[in-house]
C-alpha cells in the first residue's frame, strides 16, 4: 500500500478510518470490525466523545503496536494548561499510554490562541504523551504563523477535501513543506457526490464503486482520505480503493468538479469556529 511521509519522518498508510459518530457499544463493534478488516490509522477527537470507544476497540484487538491512533484538541482548550490537561484526559479516556498523533481540531482565529495551543502540543510531544503532532483546518496564513512563532510546522494538516472541494492551494503548501494532507469528509458525507455522473462513469471503467473512485482520486492527488463507514462491507470496499489507480485524465475530470462553494457545510476555517 502507498504511504505518506512527513518532514519529521511520520509515515502513514494511504488511507485511514474516520470514527465521527461511532460511539458507545455499537461504535466499539464497528471500530473493531475496521481493525479486523485491516485499517491501521484511526481518526478520533476529544469532541467526538468516542475516545473511550476507540481505546476499547484498540485494546480488544490485541494489536495496539500496529495501529496509529489520532485524537484532536477542541477549540475551548487552546490555553496551554488546559491543552495539556486535555491531552492527558484523552490518554485516560482511551486507556492508552501514548497517542500516535494529536491535532489541533480548528484554528479558531477569532480566539487567537492556536499558537499557544501549538506550543502545548510541542510540549506534550516532547514529554512523550503523544508521538507526532499536527493540525486540522489550518490555512496557509495559520501555518506560516506557526513556523514564524515556534519554528516548527505540523506533520499533518487534516482538511475538508473531496471532488467538490479539491483544495489545490493547501495541497501544494503541504507538498512544499512536507506536511501530510489528510482529507476529511472524502465521500462528501455520503450525499449526492457519490451519484455524480463523472464518478459513475469512471467507476464503471474500473469495475469499481463511486466511493472507491472518490478515495482513489484523493490518494492520487496526494491527500490521505479518512472515510467513515459503519458496516464491514463498506469498510472493505473503502480500503480496497488503495489498489485502484486512475488515469491522469480521470483525475483531471474529477478535479474539475471542484467549485469555490463546494464545502459540505458552511465551515470556512477563516470564519467558522468550533469549541
Ligand atoms: N478535522 C475535522 O474538522 C473533521 C474531521 N472529520 C473526520 O473525517 C471522517 C470522515 O468524514 P465524515 O464526515 O464522516 O464523512 P465521509 O465523507 O467519510 O462520509 C461518511 C458517510 O458516507 C457513508 N459511506 C461510507 N462508505 C460508503 C460507501 N462505500 N458507499 C456509500 N456510502 C458510504 C457512511 O455511511 P455508514 O457509516 O452508514 O456506512 C456515512 O454516512 C470523520 O469520521 C472524522 O474522523 C470529519 C469532519 C471534520
Ligand atoms: O467531525 C469533525 O471533526 C468536526 O469538526 C465536526 O464538527 C464536523 O465539522 C461537523 O459535523 C459539524 O457539523
Q: Mean pLDDT, to the nearest integer, of 254-262?
A: 97
Q: Whose CA is nearest to atom 5 of ligand 1?
A: 184
Q: Mean pLDDT, to the nearest integer, of 236-263?
A: 98
Whole-number pLDDT of residue 75: 98
Mind listing the pLDDT tens digit for each residue in 84-101? 999 999 999 999 999 999
Cell numbers at residue 264, please?
A: 459540505
Res. 236 pLDDT band, cuts 50 70 90: very high
User: Is this complex's ipTM strictly greater than 0.95?
Assistant: yes
Cross-strand pairs, 136: 158
Contact, 50 vs 40, CB < 8 A? no
Distance 119 CA to ligand 1 centre (A): 30
Atom of ligand 1 nearest to the CA of 106: 3
Is the pLDDT assigned to residue 156 strictly greater than 90? Answer: yes
Mind listing the pLDDT tens digit for each residue in 100-109? 999 999 999 9
Q: At what angle do helices 80-94 and 114-126 cross, to 10 degrees?
A: 50
Ligand nearest to the CA of 185: 1
Kindly give the pairing relationship between strand 156-160 and strand 41-43: unpaired
Percent of the chain at pLDDT > 70 equals 100
CATH code reported for the domain at 11-189+222-229: 3.20.20.100
Q: What is the dihedral of CA 11, 139, 152, 225, to 10 degrees?
A: -10
Domain boundary assignment for the chain: 11-189+222-229
Q: Mean pLDDT, to the nearest integer, of 153-173?
A: 98
Query: Is 7 annotated among the ligand-binding residues?
Result: no
Contact, 163 vs 257, CB < 8 A? yes
- Residue 272 Cβ inside 6 Å of ligand 2? The answer reads no
Rounded Cα gap, residues 234 and 71, in angstroms: 23
Res. 152 pLDDT band, cuts 50 70 90: very high
**Single pTM value for the model:** 0.98
Ligand nearest to the CA of 274: 2
- Residue 239 Cβ inside 6 Å of ligand 2? The answer reads no
> Residues with catalytic annotation?
48
Whole-number pLDDT of residue 192: 94
Whole-number pLDDT of residue 190: 84
Q: Which of 58, 84, 85, 83 is nearest to 70 (CA)?
A: 58
Distance 188 CA to ligand 2 centre (A): 13
Amino acid at each position: 500500500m502507498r504511504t505518506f511521509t512527513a518532514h519529521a519522518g511520520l509515515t502513514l498508510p494511504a488511507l485511514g478510518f474516520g470514527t465521527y459518530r461511532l460511539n458507545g457499544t455499537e461504535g466499539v463493534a464497528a471500530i473493531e470490525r475496521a481493525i479486523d478488516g485491516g485499517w491501521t490509522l484511526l481518526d478520533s477527537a476529544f469532541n467526538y466523545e468516542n475516545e473511550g470507544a476507540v481505546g476499547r476497540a484498540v485494546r480488544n484487538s490485541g494489536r495496539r503496536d500496529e495501529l496509529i491512533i489520532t485524537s484532536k484538541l477542541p477549540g475551548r482548550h487552546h490555553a496551554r494548561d488546559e491543552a495539556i490537561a486535555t491531552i492527558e484526559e484523552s490518554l485516560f479516556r482511551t486507556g492508552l499510554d501514548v497517542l500516535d498523533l494529536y491535532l489541533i481540531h480548528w484554528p479558531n482565529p477569532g480566539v487567537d490562541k492556536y499558537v499557544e495551543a501549538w506550543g502545548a502540543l510541542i510540549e506534550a510531544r516532547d514529554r512523550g504523551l503523544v508521538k507526532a503532532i499536527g493540525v486540522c483546518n489550518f490555512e496557509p496564513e495559520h501555518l506560516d504563523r506557526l513556523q514564524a512563532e515556534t519554528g516548527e510546522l505540523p506533520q499533518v494538516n487534516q482538511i475538508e477535501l473531496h471532488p467538490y472541494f479539491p483544495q489545490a492551494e493547501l495541497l501544494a503548501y503541504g507538498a512544499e513543506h512536507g506536511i501530510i494532507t489528510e482529507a476529511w469528509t472524502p465521500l462528501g458525507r455520503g450525499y449526492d457526490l457519490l451519484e455524480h455522473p463523472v464518478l459513475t462513469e469512471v467507476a464503471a471503467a474500473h469495475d469499481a464503486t463511486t466511493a472507491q473512485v472518490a478515495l482513489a482520486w484523493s490518494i492520487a492527488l496526494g491527500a490521505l482520505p479518512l472515510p467513515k463507514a459503519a458496516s464491514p462491507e463498506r469498510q472493505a470496499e473503502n480500503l480496497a480503493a488503495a489498489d485502484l489507480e486512475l488515469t491522469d485524465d480521470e483525475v483531471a475530470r474529477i478535479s474539475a468538479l471542484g467549485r469555490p462553494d463546494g464545502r459540505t457545510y458552511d465551515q470556512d476555517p477563516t470564519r467558522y469556529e468550533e469549541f
